[in-house]
Structures are given as structure tokens and as C-alpha cells.
Amino acid sequence: MSRLHAVIFDVDGTLAETERDGHRVAFNHAFERLGLPDRWEEPLYGELLWVTGGTERLRFYFERYRPLLAAERDRLVAELHRVKNEAFRQLIEGSGIAPRPGILRLFDELHRAGITTAVATTGSRAWVEPLLEKLLGRDRFSRITLVITGEDVARKKPDPEAYRVTLSKLAIRPEQALAMEDSQNGLEAAKGAALSCVITPSSYCRNHDFSQADFVVEELGDPGLRSRVLYNPHGIEVGEVIDTVTLHRLHHRSTAPARRP
């Protein structure tokens, strides 16, 4: 039985509620900056989130909702994405984007336990690393062993490439790690890489299908904020918060030979 060597975190929605009040706002700023009438309201943005990657999301939007000539569309998508990333970096620096409950506590516990932390996202490195440093603080950010972003892979989630690249660079096997995700796309990516996966659904993802997850919890929890378990197929014992003890129990159960596919 392999011990738990690493916990691999998604970013958007998993570490913080960045989509509704972060990326969506930045996309709308880019539309306004370029003099376009388009605005992504919350319901529409929730639909667009099924398309991972900012460039891909913009391209899908124009193909589905406002068709343009291919050359004009590609030029516009590239410029919008550039302006959007600039706007999002400014939001990171000046806004109150905060980590979800339990994130800072768990990062500290993993460090004390000697468990590697890594990040596997298909967002752009231009904003991923500033966001990580803002959310976690410089010390915790410096302890992350590896950050894989969209620039490191050819295919975005739900394709498992980001997780496979992470495992390869960490030189560990899937049964030596856990993935932390918030969405069905993320879950499918983790499972495609044969990883056990913990889900903390973000605000846009509460109605996603998490039946393949190994554990689903509303929040990781903090002192005074008890975690609420939504799905526990391995029947692990859970305390008031999701801590390293919980993750070890889950890892042990989810990688036991009888429970492997």
C-alpha cells in the first residue's frame, strides 16, 4: 500500500470563488475596454464554464452566440484574452478575493506532515502564480513544489493531461496522490489520470455530477466552521474539519486493492 506523498490542487473554484466575482468581471471589463456590447451575466457565465480555458471560452461564445468571420473572431479573441488577463491581475492585487474556508489551514498541515503540495490548472500562468501568492501568502506559495498551467499542456480539463504531467514531473504514481477539485470537469480530469479525488463544489458547480468522486464536502472547514459531508462512498470517519488525518484515511480506503477499478 502506497503512502500519501502529494496533494494536487486545482485553482479556480477550489482554492477560492474566483469565477463569478473575478474572471467574469474581468471578461466583462475586456468587452467594455474594446467597445463591445457583450456582457456575461451570471447565468450565461455558468453555462460557459463548461468550456475550460479563457481563449476556448471566448471562441465558443462567439461561435455559439455571436458568429463572426473566422479571421475577425480569432483576432478579437486574442485581444480580449490579453486584456482580460491584465484586468484579472489588477483584480487580484486590489480585490478581496479570499481563500475558501480551510485552505490555509490545510496547506499548513500538509507542510508540517511533509506531504508535497502541487497545483494542476489549465489557467494562464500570467495570472495563476500571482493569484496563488495573493491567496496563500508568499511563504505557503514558496512551498508549492510544482505549478502546472495551461502553457504546460496541449489539452485542457476535462482531459487528464494536466494531472498526468504533474504526476510525471513529481515522479510519483497516481496511487501516491490525491486531487482536490470543485467541478465535474476537474473530477473527470483527475479520474482520467487514475487519481482519487476530493470535491468541494464551488458556487457554479453545486449541481454537477460528482458520483465518481471519492469524497465530496461542502467546505474543508475551520475552527468554528464545521465541514459538512455531502458524499462519502468509502465510509471514512470524519471529524469537524477535513485535515491531514481525513486525507490519509481517504487515501488508504480509495487506493485499497479491493476498491481499485
Q: What DSSP string runs through 3-36?
A: ---EEEE--BTTTB--IIIIIHHHHHHHHHHTT-
If one counts every other C-beta atom within 10 angstroms of the C-beta of residue 125, the result is 14
If one counts every other C-beta atom within 10 angstroms of the C-beta of residue 18, the result is 26
DSSP 225: B
Query: What letter represents residue 50's amino acid?
Result: W
Contact 175, 255 (CB under 8 A): yes
54-64 helix and 70-94 helix, angle to the nearest 10 degrees: 130
* pLDDT on residue 27: 97
- Walk along the chain (261 residues) and give the pLDDT tens digit of each residue: 579 999 999 999 999 999 988 999 999 999 999 999 999 999 999 999 999 889 999 999 999 999 988 899 999 999 999 999 999 999 998 877 899 999 999 999 999 999 999 999 999 898 999 999 999 999 999 999 999 999 999 999 999 999 999 999 999 999 999 999 999 999 999 999 999 999 999 999 999 999 999 999 999 999 999 999 999 999 999 999 999 999 999 999 999 875 444
Look-up: residue for cell 488525518? 245
Nearest to 118 by CA among 57, 190, 226: 190
**Prediction pTM value:** 0.92
* pLDDT on residue 93: 86
Query: Which domains can be identified in the chain, with CATH numbers?
Result: 6-17+98-259 (3.40.50.1000), 19-94 (1.10.150.240)
Q: Which three cell numbers stand for residue 134?
A: 495573493
Nearest to 5 by CA among 142, 164, 141, 114: 114
Query: Catalytic residue at 108?
Result: no
Among 12, 182, 214, 243, the active-site one is 12
Q: Which three cell numbers stand for residue 8?
A: 494536487
Among 10, 159, 214, 243, the active-site one is 10
Contact 150, 56 (CB under 8 A): no
* pLDDT on residue 258: 55
What is the Cα–Cα distance from 255 to 239, expressed in whole angstroms?
21
What is the Cα–Cα distance from 27 to 29, expressed in whole angstroms?
5
Core vs surface per residue 155-186: b (16+ CB within 10 A) or e: ebbbbbbbbbbbbeebebebbbbbbbbbbbbb
Query: Catalytic residue at 12?
Result: yes
Query: What letter represents residue 21's amino acid?
Result: D
